[in-house]
Amino acid sequence: MNLPNDKQMRLIAALIIFTTAMIYISFCTFMTLPKGGERIADTTVGFLLGTCIGSLIAYYWGTSHSSSEKNETIKRMSQKDTYNDQETVEKV
């Protein structure tokens, strides 16, 4: 059984958070809420939009995503250098 790698796990977690938030927001928008529950729903929707969805957008289209790509590039380049170093040692 193949376990998902780190990149896939982040995507799965993001999809779960996004889907759950959209279901809750849809529920609060289209269903009749009990008296007094509107303020709690407003607070929760504000939290979801401000933190959860905002964090996902900031990660996937912000500097965190670019940072992640940079780290992967550095890792690939360092592995190439290690391979080239081993090749040089074998030639000598």
pLDDT at 23 (0 to 100): 93
Residue 24: CB atoms within 10 Å: 15
Report whether 48 contacts 21 (CB < 8 A): yes
pLDDT at 73 (0 to 100): 84
Q: Which residue has the higher pLDDT, 63 or 22?
A: 22
What is the rounded distance in angstroms from the CA atom of residue 66 to the CA atom of residue 29? 35
Q: Which residue has the higher pLDDT, 12 or 80?
A: 12
Which residue do the tokens 């007094």 mark?
Answer: 36
* Residue whose C-alpha is closest to residue 7's, from 53, 68, 49, 91: 68
Find the angle CA(17)-CA(22)-CA(28) to the nearest 5 degrees: 125
Pick the most confident of 32-41, 64-73, 81-90.
Answer: 32-41
| pLDDT tens profile 4-55 | 777 788 888 889 988 998 999 899 888 888 888 888 888 888 888 888 888 8
